[in-house]
């Protein structure tokens, strides 16, 4: 059984002006996501600025989210690292805190071989008992998790159950699903490819878009999985301009700006991320309004 089916939000980490974590605001965002139909919370992923959270902060944010959500929907903790031992320790802590699953990105910068990736993921999985979703995003990590490697891990390591695929390569995803068969939970890691990946057997999306449009992102997946392929496709295509605007600068710069434009007051970004260029803010505003999102 999959950790979740539908729309999982890769939720932002709100900050105070002094760049400390704003837990009161995080609680509000979590409640709004649940009320908006989101099917799972992914905490401390890329969108949550995990790269600039200290390890104690990272674990505190995970613990807070798990406690606040209180089993209303699954909470999946981002615990990846380019150090296997660090990933193991964070994964153990997340499991102890009550996470329903883990999202583990491929090691970045090191550029591990496929053999190294098998060892990395196997060691992490053997250190915990909860399910693991691997995360393949070579544009950020410089490391591509090959279809044969994914299939091997899912078939041979009991609690490695799926992959968040953000390679953007539909042919690679098709090969992956051919090799892995029915025993894998596939999630789109690209908001502009949700329906294509569902058509290849996907279970849902781990979404940036859901931060600003939780109901629509949920409905896109729910309609498709219920057999209303036209309804799901309609939402996907209508969302394309907004998705484009949300990625016109590196994530999570635009999505934090979008939430602030909505009056959510999620605060600034930690360096080295910088505030959005004015011309891109205007592009984002236009796309949000056209999609029906109210600005503050």
Can the peptide bond before residue 120 be classed as cis, meaning omega within 30 degrees of 0? no
- To the question of whether residue 47 is assigned a binding role by annotation, the answer is yes
* Across 197-210, average pLDDT: 98
CA angle 269, 90, 213 (to 5 degrees): 45
**What is the Cα gyration radius of the chain?**
18
- To the question of whether residue 46 is assigned a binding role by annotation, the answer is no
Is the model's pTM score more than 0.75? yes
Note if 121 is an active site residue: no
Catalytic residue among 121, 135, 152, 187: 135
- Among 295, 243, 250, 239, smallest CA distance to 277 is for 250
Please give the DSSP secondary-structure letter assigned to residue 136.
Answer: E
The string of pLDDT tens digits covering residues 1-52 is 899 999 999 999 999 999 999 999 999 999 999 999 999 999 999 999 999 9
Q: How far out from the chain centre does Cα 126 lie?
A: 23
Q: What does the block give as tokens for 154? A: 């899912």
Alpha-carbon distance of 3 to 13, in angstroms, equals 22
Note if 286 is an active site residue: no
The string of pLDDT tens digits covering residues 115-153 is 999 999 999 999 999 999 999 999 999 999 999 999 999
Catalytic residue among 164, 203, 264, 283: 164
Q: What does the block give as tokens for 206? A: 């781990």
In the chain, % of residues over pLDDT 70: 100
Please give the DSSP secondary-structure letter assigned to residue 82.
Answer: S
């Amino acid at each position: 059984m999959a950790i979740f089916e539908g729309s999982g939000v890769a939720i932002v980490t709100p900050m105070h002006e002094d760049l400390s974590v704003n837990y009161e605001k995080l609680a509000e965002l979590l409640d709004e996501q649940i009320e908006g139909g989101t099917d799972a919370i992914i905490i401390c992923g890329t969108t949550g600025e995990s790269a600039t959270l200290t390890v104690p902060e990272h674990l505190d944010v995970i613990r807070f989210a798990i406690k606040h959500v209180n089993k209303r929907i699954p909470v999946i903790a981002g615990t990846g690292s380019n150090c296997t031992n660090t990933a193991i320790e964070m994964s153990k802590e997340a499991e102890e805190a009550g996470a329903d699953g883990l999202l583990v990105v491929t090691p970045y910068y090191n550029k591990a071989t496929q053999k190294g990736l098998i060892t990395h993921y196997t060691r992490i999985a053997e250190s915990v008992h909860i399910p693991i979703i691997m995360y393949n995003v070579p544009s950020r990590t410089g490391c591509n998790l090959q279809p044969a490697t994914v299939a091997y891990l899912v078939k041979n390591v009991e609690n490695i159950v799926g992959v968040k695929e953000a390679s953007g390569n539909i042919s690679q995803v098709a090969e992956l699903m051919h090799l892995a068969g029915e025993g894998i939970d596939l999630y789109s890691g690209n908001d502009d490819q949700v329906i294509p990946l569902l058509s290849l057997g996907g279970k849902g999306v781990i979404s940036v878009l859901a931060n600003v449009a939780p109901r629509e992102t949920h409905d896109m997946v729910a309609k498709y999985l219920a057999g209303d392929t036209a309804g799901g496709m309609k939402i996907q295509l209508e969302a394309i301009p907004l998705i484009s605007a949300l990625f016109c600068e590196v994530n999570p710069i635009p999505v934090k700006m979008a939430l602030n434009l909505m009056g959510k007051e999620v605060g600034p970004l930690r360096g080295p991320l910088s505030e959005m260029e004015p011309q891109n803010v205007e592009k984002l505003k236009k796309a949000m309004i056209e999609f029906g999102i109210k600005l503050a």
